[in-house]
């Protein structure tokens, strides 16, 4: 893959899962984890495409629209912008964009990812192809769920031996979702061979970079992940 294009081609991937399988309430994309990343890459002048697993309208986690949370990082400005929100109304599916060349693939979080990111053949292959081709893979919060089951072309785990972070189990308990998530993300990443780390204090920013792999622990880390990606792009 050619990695010399300016601006960079950035793909943001969202969940299409809108509900917990074992609970009666809704989930989906955590909006701020998309907008915080989008704003930084957009300000840096890069070309951004938003896709989702199934395509079509992206479901939003209602919790991410609560007033105090929505105001973090000016997410409310994006939510109130009809042109921006229209980008989430009819997204291409991951299968529709997987054959294109991407300089960056970013995995936005939200609990929905726990249901449709792991063991997704197309998504996993895209992540492996991006890294093997010299590109950047980034993820925040529950976005690293896509690493579960993802393999390089030689069959080795995508995050084997890599330093990563993601939503921690203490944070899952604080969010009251520990009884409805299908698995422990931190443990699943360790089972993939990753060297998982977390912040000393829950719900505080933590960004981990290992080469061209960048991960953030929670919603507070999305902008930090984006800034790390912009720095990496400047080096290419």
Q: Do the domain assignments include residue 209?
A: yes
In Å, what is the CA distance from 156 to each residue of 124, 134, 152, 224?
12, 17, 5, 28
Q: Do the domain assignments include residue 3?
A: no
| Count of domains for the chain | 1
- The CATH number given to whatever domain includes residue 72 is 3.40.50.880
Q: Do the domain assignments include residue 80?
A: yes
Q: How do beta strands 136-140 and 104-107 pair?
A: parallel
| Structure-block tokens of residue 89 | 């109304």
Q: Do the domain assignments include residue 2?
A: no
pTM: 0.97
Q: Which domain holds residue 66?
A: 9-235
pLDDT for residue 54 = 98
pLDDT for residue 23 = 87
Q: Do the domain assignments include residue 73?
A: yes
Q: Do the domain assignments include residue 178?
A: yes
Distance of CA 53 to the CA centre of its chain: 12
Q: Do the domain assignments include residue 1?
A: no
pLDDT per position in the chain (236 positions), as tens? Answer: 344 458 999 999 999 999 998 888 999 999 999 999 999 999 999 999 999 999 999 999 999 999 999 999 999 999 999 999 999 999 999 999 999 999 999 999 999 999 999 999 999 999 999 999 999 999 999 999 999 999 999 999 999 999 999 999 999 999 999 999 999 999 999 999 999 999 999 999 999 999 999 999 999 999 999 999 999 999 97
pLDDT for residue 5 = 53
Distance of CA 59 to the CA centre of its chain: 15
Q: Do the domain assignments include residue 177?
A: yes
């Amino acid at each position: 893959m050619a990695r010399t294009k300016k601006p960079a081609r950035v793909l943001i991937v969202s969940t299409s899962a809108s509900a917990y399988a074992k609970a009666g309430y809704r989930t989906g994309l955590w909006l701020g984890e998309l907008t915080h990343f989008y704003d930084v890459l957009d300000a840096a002048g890069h070309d951004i495409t938003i896709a989702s697993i199934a395509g079509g309208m992206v479901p939003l986690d209602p919790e991410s629209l609560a007033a105090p949370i929505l105001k973090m990082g000016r997410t409310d400005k994006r939510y109130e912008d009809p042109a921006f929100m229209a980008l989430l109304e009819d997204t291409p599916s991951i299968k529709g964009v997987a054959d294109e060349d991407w300089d960056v693939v970013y995995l936005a979080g939200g609990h929905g990812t726990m249901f449709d990111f792991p063991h997704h053949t197309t998504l996993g292959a895209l992540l492996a192809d991006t890294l093997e081709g010299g590109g950047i893979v980034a993820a925040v919060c529950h976005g690293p769920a896509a690493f579960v089951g993802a393999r390089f072309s030689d069959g080795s785990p995508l995050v084997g031996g890599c330093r990563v972070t993601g939503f921690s189990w203490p944070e899952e308990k604080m969010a009251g979702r520990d009884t409805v998530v299908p698995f422990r993300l931190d443990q699943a990443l360790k089972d993939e061979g990753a060297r998982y780390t977390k912040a000393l204090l829950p719900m505080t920013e933590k960004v981990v970079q290992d080469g061209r792999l960048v991960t953030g622990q929670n919603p507070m880390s999305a902008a930090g992940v984006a800034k790390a990606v912009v720095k990496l792009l400047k080096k290419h």
